[in-house]
Structure 1
Amino acid sequence: MNAIDKSVSTDISLGHLLDVLSVAPDAPLVFSYDGSPVRPGYHVTEVKAGMFSALDCGANPEAWSEIFVQLWDIDEDSRTHMPAGKFSAIIRKIADHVQLEPTAKLTFEVSDGERPMALYCAAAPRLVAGSFEVSLSARPASCKPRDRWLAEEQAKSSCCGPTANESKCCG
């Protein structure tokens, strides 16, 4: 069984994505998932925003806002990858009708129209050779109490935290 390193989150917010894309609005926007880029004719088929309330497996209340961007990975009409500015314009048009919280958790739903939709989180876009590349990685299930405990343990074991021999590397 492969262990998933939860110490570094690749999640970005919609606001961060749009801020980065504004630097080069004419640059093609290429999402990649499962080791391959989306096809040039991909569509943004739906954008949903939601406020969620839940209890985690430790009976702790949780609340968050989340935005889902649905991508249909198809190739039609000999298109090229969508320019970053067009993606941003689609989001702005949706924001005229649906309240999109810029700091909300961002989830991508991706399907090629045949395979079931899968959920992905996005890494920060990178401008590479004139195109924006956004790497999508599968969104795994997690145990929030365990994740919080791991974060606390990691903070304790950092350079400036207490150590077994009481030496202080930052002092």
Structure 2
Amino acid sequence: MSARTGGWFLRPMTTADLAAVQALEQELFPLDAWPPEMFAAELAQPVCRYWVAEQDGAVIGYAGLMCIPPVGDVQTIAVVPEHEGRGIGTALLRTLHEHARGLGADRMMLEVRADNPRAQQLYRRHGYEQIHVRPRYYRDGGDALVMCRPLGPEGPAEPAGAAGSVPEEDAP
């Protein structure tokens, strides 16, 4: 599956993407970066699915899902700062939701740094609510907010532009 939008597109992550993703991981999350072997191990797990956002042959974002029904878990989501605000994070998150539903999940969970309001705002816009705090969750002692949202017919609908569609600001 690939979703094309104004100059960038989403596609499943492959082992060929690992070097680029790892370089972005180190740049974007220097304190919390996953070790290289962690992404490779995740890609090999049948319960995990990962996607990249690509533009002009370069990875500009990525996201991962672990799904053990009835729960889908956002493992990671990242967008290169110069590409933020173009709907890439939203498209990645909606892709995770769509695939979690397809795998039988009825809710999504995630952890997000308590000191990352931009990410928290993205998740709240998509129906996530804080349900817990994990003190000192991150290596540097930072707290994590645990957030959750229902999926499926009993849960809130996706915001305008359902999963897989092009957000209005990214329409060609």
**Larger relative contact order, structure 1 or 2 (CA cutoff 8 Å, min sep 6):** 1
Q: Which has the higher helix share?
A: 2
When normalised by structure 2's length, the TM-score is 0.28
Q: Please, what TM-score do these two structures have when normalized by structure 1?
A: 0.28
